[in-house]
Amino acid sequence: MNKVFIVAELSANHNGDKATAIATIKAAKRAGADAVKLQTYTADTITLDCKTDDFKIKQGTLWDGKYLYDLYKEAYTPWEWHEELFQIAMEEGLICFSSPFDKVAVDFLESLNNPIYKIASFEITDIPLIEYAASKMKPIIISTGIATESDIRLAVDTCRSVGNNDITLLKCTSSYPAPVEEANLCMIKDLSERFQVKSGLSDHTLGSVVPLVAVTMGATMIEKHFIIDKRIGGPDASFSMDEKEFTQMVKDIRVAECAVGEVSYELTEKMKSGREFCRSLYVAEDMKVGDVITEKNIRSVRPGFGMHPKYLPDILGRKINKDLKKGSRLFAEVID
């Protein structure tokens, strides 16, 4: 069974301090993450510096009242940090990859040998970006937080049109934090089957219950925002996991994926030995040669060393050909 791929999302949880970013990557390793993810944009590559109403956030979010440009200027990860962050992650034994938000970011990430491309939920309609990222023939991960079925279909078809079939779709609820009742984790299996891809979860709920359930629903990847210490604050701090929480989530996921197992009707050695306690046919009272088999003198009981109980209706009324003691296993050779 393949292990669930667990990703610690750095996002803005460095608060503009490279030392914090480095410490967070090292903490993600200690917490058991398989990978750390960055976001590669600048305020200018993701939006316009406009103070009109269109560019003001006003949807009941943590960031209401801010202008998009100001938020992204605060939250972005400086591009000049990227090479060092990639290197540190590699030294820690973590995969480091990023979400590009324009073609220039893709080119920049290619120069760093970025191994995976993640398309953020709000970029799922940016088909030129998806096509360009997919054309690099690296695994591509797409969050579906605000996507319609047709959005998802177009994004997947775009990847396949350039020959990239290594696609993972992530169920995502684009609320920060996301209400548990909107997690809709049954979509994980449907995404996989409907679009013939791998599927997983990009989670913004609080706690680890939703990621754990996602594993049981077939998620091959779990992405969770990670922060070294919530007390440092920042745009994403309130819905991010700290090291202690993330560590426990990873442990629980590893237990959950063991419990899920795989479809198999083969018996383990333990299960085979356990069959000793199933039912079989035994002599329930002393019997003499010629006695007729009845439901009183032959019964289906535990343990399982005698004949299969399915034969009982066929042998009722037949005679035995030797003396049998109570508690003897019944076998076909003693039946006439």
Per-residue model confidence as pLDDT tens digits over 154-212: 999 999 999 999 999 999 987 778 889 989 999 999 999 999 999 999 998 998 999 99
Enter the pTM of the model: 0.86
pLDDT in tens, the chain (336 residues): 579 999 999 988 998 999 999 999 999 999 999 999 999 999 998 999 999 989 888 866 667 878 889 888 888 899 999 999 999 999 999 999 999 999 999 999 999 999 999 999 999 999 999 999 999 999 999 999 889 999 999 999 999 999 999 999 999 987 778 889 989 999 999 999 999 999 999 998 998 999 999 999 999 999 999 999 888 887 778 889 999 999 999 999 999 999 998 888 998 888 888 889 999 999 999 999 999 999 999 999 999 999 999 999 999 999 999 999 999 999 999 999
Domain ranges of the chain: 5-41+76-260, 269-334
Q: How far apart are CA 248 and CA 39, in angstroms?
A: 25
Alpha helices (H) in 261-311, listed in sequence order: 269-274
Q: Kindly report the CA angle at 136 between 134 and 140, in degrees rounded to 5? A: 40
Closest C-alpha among 63, 99, 75 to residue 176: 63
CATH topology of domain 5-41+76-260: TIM Barrel (3.20.20)
Alpha helices (H) in the chain, listed in sequence order: 18-31, 43-46, 68-75, 79-92, 103-111, 127-134, 149-161, 187-195, 209-216, 243-260, 269-274, 312-315
CATH topology of domain 269-334: Type Iii Antifreeze Protein Isoform Hplc 12 (3.90.1210)
Cβ pair 54, 272 in contact under 8 A: no
